[in-house]
Chains A and B, each alone.
Chain A
Amino acid sequence: MSAPETSMRRVTAINNGTVIDHVPAGKALLVLKMLGLDGEMATPVSMVMNVPSKKMGGKDIIKVEDRELTQHELDRLALIAPNASVAIIRAYTVAEKRVINLGDEVVNVVYCTFANCASLGDREPLPHRMKVVSVEPLNLRCHYCGRPQDISELVENLL
């Protein structure tokens, strides 16, 4: 059995739900937090961490049962796992593959990490906007204050 097949079978196949593969090694817990799947939830979630990967050296895999992640949720995922592959599973088969794509701008996913940014004022209604300067490495700048964003801080600023 090849290494990737071994990795996939560390957790059981799911009937319906979402499989997120090629998450950077060690980032699965962060992904769960980002997707709001780290607290109490009705659906089972299983994951494997630091499994060998030909493409990435090491990777994490997450399986979320009975839930199909929306594009908005996937946009959030792009912040820490821009190269993840996402498959929607229905009746044990891949029904759909979703693409992670940050695009040119990330809107209302995170708020700016710079404490004095104008967009952070109480009750200010305009959307939180981040310009995508580059994907690899991930480089985002706030649309308003122009400050480069510290990605490790940014995941604490999820909306």
Chain B
Amino acid sequence: MSSLITMDDLSDEDIQEVLDAAERLLPVAKGDIHLPLLQGRILGNLFFEPSTRTRMSFETAMKRLGGEVVNLGAVASSSVVKGETLYDTIRMVDGYADIIALRHPRQGAAQYAADAAEVPIANGGDGAGHHPTQTMLDLFTIRQAHGRLDGLRVVMAGDLRYGRTVHSLAHALVRFNCELVFASPEGLKMPTEIVEDLEVHGAIILESDDLQNHIDDADVLYMTRIQKERFPDEDEYRKVAGSFSLSADNLTNVKEGMIVMHPLPRVDEISPDVDKTRHARYFEQAFNGVVTRMALLCRMLGVEVPAKIGGGA
């Protein structure tokens, strides 16, 4: 494959192959095995927006595989503030790196960059658009917990309107015949065009303004942060945020294998007492960002991940 802009760039088979490769790379991601598959390759990290997990996990993924990373650094100290176009920035980094990871506030920036560049572009989030590498790590986490992606009941809760993470994930899960429950406050519902699009693709969707009633039947509970700035006043925010938060008490009757996920950062939506339950998966999920990005970097650079890694092979 060349660039990864949306999940449409990966077939169902591709997804499973990348997840399989990611699984094999686990000991490399943990630093237990040294496997410099990407030695001599350079990743250009272009983050025009704040990012902790995505930027750092791309960097870690590249370095664990023996590659190098060059960073754009703070936008304020780059040529962007001098009025450089995205096109020019991309063309420049295109000459410095073998692959580019891009996050940009404008929707469509990743496709724009892919059209400008010779090297592959990995979309690390473009405005309210897509975030496919996050989706891949989410799928990895789900498959790791349940052993499959097919036919699961996935509850997505919180801010479903502005969160690109849940948009991309919902599209991917529909491909694996998952049942989706969208639980959100009225003003933060999943955008109608996305729900319609998912239904055209045969999705079974239940929309609700209540979270608690849907937890017990879930295989996956995907929490998201409700941002204060989306509400006209603090009281309204507190009322809504409170009904879309999770504590260990809410998990008494859930399925044994149910997992709680969150793209992080969290604020109040998951109480720290959930961390100690067997259901919490968000920190593993964050770690999985490294291993899935390792598999994606290899694939995008045309480097095969060995069928067997370590284990005295």
A contacts, CB < 8 Å to B: 112, 114, 116-126, 142-148
Contact = CB atoms under 8 A, between A and B. Distances in A.
A119 B116 contact: no
Secondary structure type dominating chain A contacts: loop
B104 interface: yes
Contact of B108 (A119, A122, A123): A119
Interface residues of B, number: 21
A50 B282 CA distance: 62
Contacts of B108: 112, 117-119, 142-146
Contacts of A144: 107-109, 111-112
Contact of A126 (B105, B106, B112, B128): B112
A122 B106 CA distance: 13
8 contacts: A116-B105, A116-B107, A118-B104, A121-B106, A122-B85, A126-B115, A145-B111, A147-B107
B249 interface: no
Interface of B: 6, 83, 85-87, 104-109, 111-112, 115-116, 126-130, 193
Nearest to B110: A118
Given A121-B85, A122-B85, A114 B107 contact: yes
Contacts of B115: 126
A147 B127 CA distance: 12
Contacts of A147: 107
A120 to B, nearest CB: 8
B85 A117 contact: no
B129 A119 contact: no
